[in-house]
Amino acid sequence: MTVHLNLARAARLVGVPRGVLQRMIAAGELPSFDGLVALDDLQRAFPDAALADSGAFETVARIREQAFARRVQEFVLPSQEVLAQRLLSQSIELAQVRRHLQAYHELIVQLRSRIEHGGAEAGDGSAGLLDFLDRHFKRILAAEPEPLEASVSMLEAITAHVTVRPSGHQFLVEGNESILQAGLKSGVRFGYGCGTGSCGLCKARVIAGQVRAIAQGDYPLSEQERQQGYTLLCTHTAVSDVIVETLEASGPQDIPQQEILATVRAISPLAPATMLLHLQTPRSHRLRFLAGQSVTVSVAGAEGDRSASLPLASCPCDERNLHFHVAREDPSPFAAALFDGRCKPGERVTVRGPSGDFVLGADAGGVLPVFVACDTGFAPVKSLIEHSIAADQFESISLYWLATRPDGHYLANQCRAWAASLDQFRFALATASDPGAGGRELADRILAERTDLAQCAVYAAGATPFVDAIARQLVAGGLKPEQVFGLGL
């Protein structure tokens, strides 16, 4: 009997995004049953994939590379209790396999005895021996467990698989991560608030599987909620494969407005005319937002309120550490304070938001995202790209980045790093003196290079003339208006 895998583990083993497997299943190229794929079918679909050298073994290699025992124990491996429970489950499976091997051994011994006696014990001829084999094989196969596959078993010991209903989203929980942390890292739009077990906003019902508390929470679940299987995703990890039931944000309308007092952690130059602003929220009050959204950042002082509306450059998977790219040419009082040194690390900053609908669709797995940025329009695009990478649902991700000033490609090395480590990521850098003209040229280049635009969604961010030119040119070239999303800065 073959081993069946959920899509998350199957994708991990062969090293492709889940979206690739989903499209292969839809096209009939990969058989599936009830959301599972057989290991044998997976190997046939990916003949060049050495399963013993992928998936879990990559995780083990990463453990060796990180090498520091304490860090490995805390961040890569599960806790001793969780690991012991997962290994116990695999030990039970191994015992079942051994029992069936013993049954096969006993069958062979009996068969040999009958053959040695020429079938005389029961008057058996060849027909009698065949009947004997058929009856005993049926008895053994009726209760035979699925064999243990080394790479799959190692994945199951180190990770647990979570399925979210009703959305059907799937992800893996690694190490001592909470279910909430693992879901956010995988691009799931969970509802949550504090992230520390105090507010109860991440409450969800566990339909199947076993969870375990890894942190103390102050939110009191009622006895009825406990009996119904509710738990806090931020304070629990998955011991076994788990199915949870909870609603996810479908768009910006599901994200509440928040006001948070954050701290300036760092102000560092990305380029001569571009600054990186790093804010950190309190542990008990994190910013919930969608990739591509913006917030209003303000500092009150003797000179009055200094504020600016800034797109987030960081991924929602790290909701405490908020990054922004601020250009020297930004006319806001806040940007001026940032560049002339009046805003310093350690200062308290008010963050209000989020706002904006420059976001990926809740279920964008069927499209290929093409991101287009001009200068610091790369900030929200970076957030979208990092979310896309975390969601692991796109067969390809493309970026076109236009610079209209000497340091406009201030994070070109980041793009090169993505391209070097991700097979599905491609990028192109371009320059122009005028945003509008550059946008038209870049749109023409996209139309000439992409033969799959019918499957694409284009996300453009930058100066308003640039975004308008991109949208007009692409629609004139055959894209539907609903395929183009823009954010003018």
The residue that leads in pLDDT, 332 or 312, is: 312
Closest CA to 313 of 363, 268, 345: 268
Please tell me the pTM assigned to this model. Answer: 0.73
Classify domain 255-355 by CATH number.
Answer: 2.40.30.10
pLDDT at 138: 65
pLDDT score at 69:
40
Q: What is the mean pLDDT of the chain?
A: 82
Buried b (16+ CB within 10 A) or exposed e, 463-481: bebbbbbbbebbbeeebee
Averaged pLDDT, 341-351: 91
Number of separate helices (H) and strands (E) present in the chain: 15, 20
Fold designation for 368-488: Rossmann fold (3.40.50)
Say if residues 437 and 430 touch (Cβ distance below 8 Å): no
**Which carries the bigger pLDDT value, residue 48 or residue 255?**
255
Q: Do domains 160-252 and 368-488 have the same CATH topology?
A: no
Nearest CA-CA partner of 309 in 376, 362, 369? 376
Q: What is the pLDDT of residue 420?
A: 85
Pick the CATH number of 160-252 from 2.40.50.100, 3.50.50.60, 3.10.20.30, 3.20.20.80: 3.10.20.30
- Per-residue pLDDT of 358-408, as tens digits, reads 998 766 556 889 999 999 999 999 999 998 888 777 888 999 999 999 999
| Domain chopping of the chain, boundaries | 160-252, 255-355, 368-488
Point out the least confidently predicted range of 214-218, 382-386, 429-433.
214-218
Q: How far is CA 326 from CA 286, 313, 455, in A?
A: 22, 10, 33
